[in-house]
Structure 1
Amino acid sequence: MSQFGRFILALIILFILAGCWNRVELNELWVTAATGVDMMDDGQWMMSYQIVVPSAIASGTGGGSGGSSQPASQVFSVKSKTYNQALSYSNLKTSRQIYIAHNRVVFIGKRAAEKGMDRLIDFYLRNTEAREMVTMVVTDGLASDLLRKLLPPEKIQGAAMAELVDKESDMLSVFPKVRVYDFVLSMNSDSKSIGVPVAEMIGKRDYQDEKEAESLDVFKKTSAPLKLALTKLAIFQNGKLKGFLNKEESLGVSYLSQKVNNTEISFPCSEQPGREMYSSILVNSANVKLTPQKTNSHYTMQVGVKINGTLNETTCTKDISKTKTIHDLEKEIAKEVTSTINEGWAKLQELGVDATGFADRVHRSFPREWETVKKDWDQEFKRIELDIRVDARIKRPGLLQKRIGSQT
C-alpha cells in the first residue's frame, strides 16, 4: 500500500474510532444515592429514586436552614410492571436520565419482600449499570417513606444509611451487612436463606414536624421526634420474607453465622442475683468454630466460641484484682453468650429457616449422605441440636481494681 493509501486509511480509522459519539454529559444525569422497591395493591411495582442535587451540595445549602435552600436530594416514584420499565418511565417525570451506578442502598418494602426478590436479583445481575455491591435494607412499611426521611446530620439519606449499616456491622454485629451479591450467593446455597437488616421510623409521629421538615426548618430543632433506626432482622428463604428476629435473636444468629466482629456484652454479677448489677465487656475478637456431627440418624452442631475482650464497665462489689473474680466474670460472660445463641437458634427453628447456613456445612462434611438429607432438610434442620462451648477471656480489666463507691 502506498503512503497516500496509508494516510487515507488512518484518516478513516480516526473518524470511525472517535470516542465521544455516545457521550452523556454530567448535567444530563440524575445520580441516584438510594432506591426503593414496593409492591402496590394493584399488583404493580413502585420504584422510588433518591436523586442527588449537586448544586445544593456544592453551595453548602442542602439540608440546611433557610427558606430559599433546597434539599440535597429529591425523591420521586414510578409505577410499572417491571423494574426496567420503571427506569424507562422515569423519563416521563424528569428531564434527566436516572443513573444508578452510584446507588448505595436499596430499600425493600415488606410487601415486596413477601412477594420475593427474584425480580430485584434479575435486575441487578442483568443490568450493566446496576452494581451487586449495593447494601440491602428491609422496611416494615413502604420503602418510599424511608427514602423521604432525612438522617441528620448527613445531607443524603441513602449514603447515610449505607454508612450506618457498615458501622453497625463492624462495631455491634447485631444486624450484619448484606449486599445484593451476598443475597445472590444465599439463594444458590444449600440453605437458600439469609438475614437482612430492617430499618424503621421510630418515635411518635408529629405531622407538624414533618411539615417543617419539608420546608427545611427541621434543623432548627435539636431533635426530630420520628427517626430512622435499625430495629430487627428480616429472614428470607428462597428469596421470600419468612419472619423477623429481634436484637438478641439476631445477635445469636450472628454468632452461628460467624459474622460477629466486635460487639458489647452486658452480664449480671453472680454475687448479687437479686439486684440489677451489671457489667459490660467490649468484645475485641470472637472466633466461632462450627463442626457438624452425626448422632444416630440426626445431626448435632458443635459450636465453639472463643471471646477476648476488655472490661469497660462494672458495678460488681468483688475485687477484680483477684484472679478468681476475673474467672467468675468470664463464666458469667459465657452464660450470657450461650443464652443469646440459644435464643436466636430457637427462633430459627420456630420459623424453620436455616439462616445460619448449616446445610452447606453438613453437605461438605457428609457429601454422600447429603443427597438423601437435602430433600427433607427443612424438617431435619428443626431436629438439629447445638453443643455450645464458650471460652470467654477478659484480657484487660481496666485501671481500677475496685468499683467506684466501694467501702474497702
Structure 2
Amino acid sequence: MKRWRLLLAMLVCILATGCWNRVELNDIAIITATGLDWKDGKWVLSYQVVLPQAISTQSASTSTAAVHVFSTRGESIRSAVSKASQETSRRLYFSHTQIVIIGQDAARKGLGPLLDTYLRNHDSRETVNVFLSKGSARRMLEQLIPLEKIPGAAIQRMINNEEMNSSTFHQMTIHKILLDLLGTTQATGIPGLVVSGTNESVDNAGQLAYTNTPSKVRLFDLGLISGDKLVGWINNEESQGVMWLANQVKKTTIPFACSADKNEQKRSSIRITHARTNLTPRPSNGKWLMDVNVTATGTLMEYNCEGDLTNPKQIVKLQKRVEDEIVAIMQKGWGAVSKYKTDVIGFGSTIRNKYPKQWAETAASWSEEFPNIELKLKVKVNLNSTGMSGSGFKKAQEKDDL
C-alpha cells in the first residue's frame, strides 16, 4: 500500500511540473525575414514580423498586410538587436526566420559579423536562405508578393522554384555559405534581389481595383563573395553558366537558333530534364587545364526550324545546336567569374582532392592562378523526345496545302 502511495505522489509531481522553458506566443514577435544594411557607419537590422490577427481567416482582409517591418541600428549586430526592446512590446523570436537579405553596402563591408552571430547563438538556424540586395534590404522586406501573405516565405519558395525549374541560381543557406567561405577557395555566390516595376506605393497592391502589383521582388544577378566581402555581380546568363560548370543544373530550358548565325533569333527550345558535369584537372606547363564534360538529357519543347525530325541525321544536327548553346553559356559564366578572380565554381577544391601536393604550392596564390585555367569544354546532349510532330507547325501547314 505504501508503494502505491509513493508512486501516486511521484506521478502527481511529474504532472504538476509543466513546461519549464515554454514560450508564450503573446510574449514574442515572430520574425520571418531579416534584413541587414550598412548606413552611416552602423549596422541597420530590419525585421519582418508576422501579425497573427492579419493572417487569420476570420479577420484577414485584402487591404491588410500580414507583416510589419521595423528597423534598429547599432555599432554591432547584437547591439542593434538588443535595441529592439526600445520600440516593441515583445521579444524578438528568430527561430522561425526563413530568409536573410543583405544589402549591397553591408555585403561590401563584410559578411563576417553576421556569420559569427549565427555561429554563436543557439536560436539562429543555419538553414535560413540568404540573398543579396542591390539596394536597401529593408526595401525588399517591405514589398508585398502576390499569392502569398508572408513575403519572407514567398521569397524562400521563389528560390526553391527557380532552382528546380530554371537553375539560373542556386539556393544558398547560412550553412552552405559557411562551408564555402571556410573551405578551400573561400568564395561563394549568393543570389541577388531587386524591386522591378514602378515606384508606386505597394500599399495599393492589395486593393481589389488592381489585378497586378505595381512593383515586385524578383531574382536578379549573382553576387560574388571572396573572403567575406562582395566583390562584384554577374548577370543571369553568366550565373547559369556558373551553374553548369559547378554541376548545379537540375532542370532548365535552352533556347537555340536553327543555324550557327549569331544574329539569328532563338525561336526553338529544349527542356533539359537531367544534367551532370564532371571536372577533371590536369597540370600542364606550369598552369592548370580543366576538362569539363557535360552530359544532358532533354525534351524538345519548341521547333521552328526546317528539317524532318523523323530523320536521325536531323536529330543529330539539332542536338549539336543545343550542345553549342550550352558551351556558349558556360564560356560566358567562366569569363565573368575569372574576371573577378573568384572561384565560386569550386575548381580549387577539385584540384586539391586530386593533386594535394601541387595544390599546397598553388593555394597561396590561387586568386592569381584561377583566371589562367584553360577549360576544355565537351557537351553531349541526348534528345529523348521530339513530341508528336516530325516537323514544325508551318511546315505541317505547307504539307496540308499541297
TM-score (norm 2): 0.93
Among residues 246, 266, 269, which one is paired with 1:257 in the alignment?
Answer: 246
Deviation at 1:296, TM superposition (A): 1.8
Deviation at 1:155, TM superposition (A): 0.7
SS in 1 for 2:382: strand
Q: Is the 8 A contact 2:221 2:235 kept in 1?
A: yes
SS in 2 for 1:234: strand
Among residues 137, 148, 160, which one is paired with 1:143 in the alignment?
Answer: 137
Deviation at 1:62, TM superposition (A): 4.1
Q: CA, structure 1 residues 61+315, in 2 after alignment: closer, same or farther (shift >3 Å)?
A: farther
SS in 2 for 1:349: helix
1:106 alignment partner AA: V
SS in 2 for 1:123: helix
Matched, 1:33 2:32: yes
Deviation at 1:45, TM superposition (A): 0.8
Q: CA, structure 1 residues 273+352, in 2 after alignment: closer, same or farther (shift >3 Å)?
A: closer
Partner residue in 1 for 2:204: 212
Matched, 1:378 2:367: yes
Partner residue in 2 for 1:287: 276
Matched, 1:186 2:180: yes
Measured on the aligned residues, the alpha-carbon RMSD in Å equals 2.2
Partner residue in 1 for 2:221: 232
2:354 alignment partner AA: S
Deviation at 1:96, TM superposition (A): 1.2
2:386 alignment partner AA: P
Matches within 5 A, 1:4-43: 14=13, 18-41=17-40, 43=41
Q: Is the 8 A contact 2:260 2:321 kept in 1?
A: no
Over residues 347-379 of structure 1, what are the superposed CA-to-partner deviations in whole Å (9 max), with x where a residue is unaligned?
111111111111111111111111111111111
Partner residue in 1 for 2:231: 242
Partner Cα separation in structure 2 for residue 252 and residue 155 of structure 1: 34
Among residues 309, 314, 325, which one is paired with 2:314 in the alignment?
Answer: 325
Partner residue in 1 for 2:89: 95
Partner Cα separation in structure 2 for residue 293 and residue 271 of structure 1: 31
Q: Is the 8 A contact 2:323 2:380 kept in 1?
A: yes
2:55 alignment partner AA: I
Matches within 5 A, 1:49-88: 49-59=47-57, 61-62=59-60, 64-65=62-63, 70-88=64-82
Q: Is the 8 A contact 1:62 1:155 kept in 2?
A: no
2:31 alignment partner AA: T
Over residues 319-374 of structure 1, what are the superposed CA-to-partner deviations in whole Å (9 max), with x where a residue is unaligned?
11111111111000110000000111011111111111111111111111111111
Deviation at 1:61, TM superposition (A): 4.9
Deviation at 1:142, TM superposition (A): 0.6
Partner residue in 1 for 2:347: 358
Among residues 301, 319, 323, which one is paired with 1:312 in the alignment?
Answer: 301
Partner residue in 2 for 1:47: 45
Partner residue in 1 for 2:393: 404
Partner Cα separation in structure 1 for residue 214 and residue 51 of structure 2: 26
1:56 alignment partner AA: A
Deviation at 1:398, TM superposition (A): 0.6
Runs of 4+ in structure 1 deviating by more than 6 angstroms, as ranges, are: 271-274
Partner residue in 1 for 2:357: 368
Matched, 1:132 2:136: no
Over residues 127-146 of structure 1, what are the superposed CA-to-partner deviations in whole Å (9 max), with x where a residue is unaligned?
11110000001000110011
Partner Cα separation in structure 1 for residue 198 and residue 25 of structure 2: 40
Partner residue in 2 for 1:109: 103
2:67 alignment partner AA: S
Q: Is the 8 A contact 1:37 1:109 kept in 2?
A: yes
Partner Cα separation in structure 2 for residue 34 and residue 164 of structure 1: 14
Deviation at 1:89, TM superposition (A): 1.5
SS in 2 for 1:300: strand
Matched, 1:200 2:194: yes
Among residues 262, 278, 296, which one is paired with 2:267 in the alignment?
Answer: 278
Partner Cα separation in structure 1 for residue 86 and residue 164 of structure 2: 41
Query: What runs of 5+ residues in structure 1 fail to find an aligned partner?
Result: none
Partner Cα separation in structure 1 for residue 251 and residue 269 of structure 2: 13
2:99 alignment partner AA: V
Partner Cα separation in structure 1 for residue 80 and residue 322 of structure 2: 51
SS in 1 for 2:160: helix
Partner Cα separation in structure 2 for residue 310 and residue 141 of structure 1: 39
Matched, 1:303 2:292: yes
Query: What runs of 5+ residues in structure 2 fail to find an aligned partner?
Result: none
Deviation at 1:286, TM superposition (A): 0.4
Partner Cα separation in structure 2 for residue 96 and residue 166 of structure 1: 31
Deviation at 1:224, TM superposition (A): 2.1
Matched length: 394
Partner Cα separation in structure 2 for residue 185 and residue 232 of structure 1: 22
More divergent stretch after superposition (87-96 vs 355-364)? 87-96
Partner residue in 1 for 2:328: 339
Partner Cα separation in structure 2 for residue 340 and residue 166 of structure 1: 22
Q: CA, structure 1 residues 63+77, in 2 after alignment: closer, same or farther (shift >3 Å)?
A: farther
2:289 alignment partner AA: T
Deviation at 1:83, TM superposition (A): 2.1
